[in-house]
Amino acid sequence: MAHEPTGTLPLQSEQHIVATRQTVRALCQELKFSLVEQTKMITAASELSRNTLIHGGGGRMHWSIVEGGARRGLQLRFEDEGPGIADIPLAMSDGYTSGSGMGLGLPGSKRLVSEFDIQSTPGKGTCVSILKWK
């Protein structure tokens, strides 16, 4: 089943996190990612979707298949309108935890992907964008 090159999934419940993982797995398989690469991307997506739900009060994941020269990749963007992150350098430091999730946190997710970007405005929300090249 081929996916559209872009799409959006809601992140409002635990079931949405499951749907996110399933969608990311299918997209990775479509892009012919190795099992290791699939696992890394699914793990990062799971962590970030959980952050969106728990800390951001829910939001959405946008996905797109991107092309860069001869290579293709999968870009995921997690957005919420939650409280935001007051101290991004602290949140990006190893060992920092808010007390929930798999303990990977943002730095763990960053290590699993090719490109990682975080934008957050306290009181307005957070957007984390990740990209994994094939």
116 near 130, Cβ under 8 Å? yes
Give me the CATH topology for the region 6-133.
Answer: Heat Shock Protein 90 (3.30.565)
Q: What is the per-residue pLDDT for 93? A: 87
pLDDT at 70 over 60: yes
The ranges assigned to domains in the chain are 6-133
Q: Determine the length of the chain.
A: 134
Neighbours of 25 (CB within 10 A): 16
Radius of gyration of the chain (CA): 14
- pLDDT of 77-105, one tens digit each? 999 999 999 999 988 987 777 665 556 78
- pLDDT of 49-68, one tens digit each? 999 999 999 999 999 999 98
127 near 62, Cβ under 8 Å? no
CB burial of residue 109 (10 Å; 0-12, 13-18, 19+)? buried
pLDDT at 20 over 70: yes
Phi, psi torsion values for 56, nearest 5 degrees? -95, -5
